[in-house]
Amino acid sequence: MPRSDQDSFLTGANSAFIAELYARYLEDPMAVDASWREFFAKLAEIPEAVRKERRGPGWAPPRPAMLNGHAAPDGHAEGALPQDIRQAALDSIRAMNLIRAFRVNGHLIATLDPLGLYRRTYHPDLDPATYGFAAADYDRPIFVNNLLGFTAATLNEILAALRLIYCGNVAVEYMHIQALEQRQWIQARIEVPRNTTEFTIEGKRAILERLTAAEQLERFLDRRYTGTKRFGIEGAEALIPALEQVIKRGGQLGMKELVIGMPHRGRLNVLTNVMGKPFAALFSEFQGNTANPEDVQGSGDVKYHLGTSTDREMGDIAMHLSLTANPSHLEAVDPVVLGKVRAKQRQRDDQNRDQVVGLLMHGDAAFAGQGLVAESLELSELKGYRTGGTLHFVVNNQIGFTTNPAQARSSPYPTDVAKGLQSPILHVNGDDAEAVVHVARIATEFRQRFKKDVVVDIFCYRRHGHNEADEPAFTQPAMYRAIASHPTTREIYAGRLIDEGLIDEAEAERFSSDFVARLEREFEAAKSYRPNKADWLEGVWSGLSIASGDDRRGETAASQELLAEVGAALTRVPDGFHLNRKIARQLDAKRQTLEQGEGIEWATAEAMAFGTLCAEGTFVRLSGQDSGRGTFSQRHAVLVDQESEEKYVPLNHIRAVQAPFEVLDSPLSEAAVMGFEYGYSLADPHALVLWEGQFGDFANGAEVIIDQFISSGEAKWLRMCGLVLLLPHGYEGQGPEHSSARLERFLQLCGEDNLQVCNLTSAANYFHALRRQVRRNFRKPLVIMTPKSLLRSPEIAARLEEMGPGTCFHRLIEESDPLTVDAQVRRVVLCSGKVYFDLRHARRERKIDDIAILRLEQLYPFPARSLAEALKRYQNAEIVWCQEEPENMGAWSFADRRIEKVLASLDIKAKRARYVGRPEAAATATGLLKRHNAEQARLIAEALAPA
Ligand SMILES: Cc1ncc(C[n+]2csc(CCOP(=O)(O)OP(=O)(O)O)c2C)c(N)n1
DSSP string, 590-629: HHHHHHHT--B-HHHHHHHHHHHHHHTT--EEEEETTTTT
pLDDT at 59 over 90: no
pLDDT in tens, 652-709: 999 999 999 999 999 999 999 999 999 999 999 999 999 999 999 999 999 999 999 9
Determine the atom of ligand 1 nearest the C-alpha atom of 367: 15
Q: Using 50, 70 and 90 to split pLDDT, how confident is the model at 71?
A: very low
Q: How far apart are CA 899 and CA 911, in angstroms?
A: 9
305 Cα–ligand 1 center, Å? 13
Q: What is the pLDDT of residues 192-226, one digit of tens each?
A: 999 999 999 999 999 999 999 999 999 999 999 99
Computed on alpha carbons and rounded to an integer, the radius of gyration of the chain in Å comes to: 35
Distance 364 CA to ligand 1 centre (A): 9
- Compute the distance from residue 264 Cα to the ligand 1 centre, in Å: 9
The protein residue whose alpha carbon is closest to atom 17 in ligand 1 is: 363
Q: Which atom of ligand 1 is nearest to the CA of 414?
A: 16
Closest Cα partner for 156 from 173, 172, 133? 133
Residue 229, classified by CB atoms within 10 Å of its CB into exposed (0-12), middle (13-18) or buried (19+), is middle
| Per-residue pLDDT, 82 | 60
| 401 has a pLDDT exceeding 60 | yes
Confidence (pLDDT) at 550: 76
Helices (H) and strands (E) in the chain, counts: 30, 26
Q: Indicate which residue's Cα is closest to atom 9 of ligand 1.
A: 401
Ligand 1, residue 265: give the atom nearest the CA: 21
- Ligand 1 centroid vs 330 CA: distance in angstroms? 6
Q: Which of 301, 330, 367 to mutate to test the pocket of ligand 1 (most atoms within 8 A of CB)?
A: 330
Closest ligand 1 atom to the C-alpha of 330?
Answer: 26
Ligand 1: which residue has its CA nearest to atom 2?
329
Per-residue pLDDT tens for 11-45? 455 666 777 777 788 788 898 888 888 878 877 77
- Which strands form 827-831's sheet, in the order they lie side by side? 812-813, 851-856, 827-831, 878-886, 913-918
Distance 401 CA to ligand 1 centre (A): 6
CA of 466 to the centre of ligand 1 (A): 9
pLDDT of residue 83: 66
Taking a C-beta distance cutoff of 8 angstroms, is the pair 899, 867 a contact? yes
Report CA-CA distances (Å) from 871 to 9, 65, 833, 905, 928: 88, 109, 19, 11, 37
In this predicted model, what pLDDT tens digit does every residue of 447-488 receive, in sequence order? 999 999 999 999 999 999 998 888 999 999 999 999 999 999
Biggest CA pair distance of the chain: 122
Which residue out of 367, 401, 464, 479 has the highest number of ligand 1 atoms within 8 Å of its CB and is therefore the one to mutate?
Answer: 401
Q: Are strands 812-813 and 851-856 parallel, antiparallel or unpaired?
A: antiparallel
Q: Are 855 and 752 in contact (CB under 8 A)?
A: no
- Please give the Cα distance from 225 to 327 (Å, whole number): 23
Atom number in ligand 1 closest to CA 266? 21
Give the residue, by CA position, lying nearest to ligand 1 atom 7: 401
Cα separation of 254 and 217, whole Å? 31
**For residue 469, how far is its CA from the centre of ligand 1 (angstroms)?**
16
pTM for the whole structure: 0.93
Q: Are strands 688-692 and 620-624 parallel, antiparallel or unpaired?
A: parallel
Ligand 1 centroid from CA 239, angstroms = 18
Q: Supply the residue whose CA is at minimum distance from atom 22 of ligand 1.
A: 401
For the CA of 408, the closest atom of ligand 1 is 16
Neighbours of 938 (CB within 10 A): 13
Task: Output the residue whose Cα is nearest ligand 1's atom 26.
Answer: 329
Question: What residues are in contact with ligand 1 under a 6 Å CB criterion?
Answer: 265, 328-330, 363-366, 395, 397, 399-401, 462, 466
The secondary structure of 831-871 as a DSSP string is E-STHHHHHHHHHHHTT--SEEEEEESEEES--HHHHHHHH
**381 DSSP assignment:** T
CA 747 – ligand 1 centroid, Å = 29
- Which ligand 1 atom minimizes the distance to the CA of 363? 15
Phi/psi at 930 (5° precision):
-60, -45
Euclidean distance between CA atoms 490 and 511, whole angstroms: 11
**Measuring from atom 13 of ligand 1, which residue has the nearest CA?**
400
Of 242, 257, 204, the closest CA to residue 443 belongs to: 242
Residues 740-776 pLDDT 10s: 999 999 999 999 999 999 999 999 999 999 999 999 9
- Counting from 1 in the atom list of ligand 1, the atom nearest the Cα of 366 is 15
Distance CA 424, CA 415 (A): 10
Measured from the CA of 370, which atom of ligand 1 is nearest? 1
CA of residue 360 to ligand 1 center, whole Å: 15
Among left, alpha and beta (phi > 0; psi -120 to 50; other), residue 744 is alpha
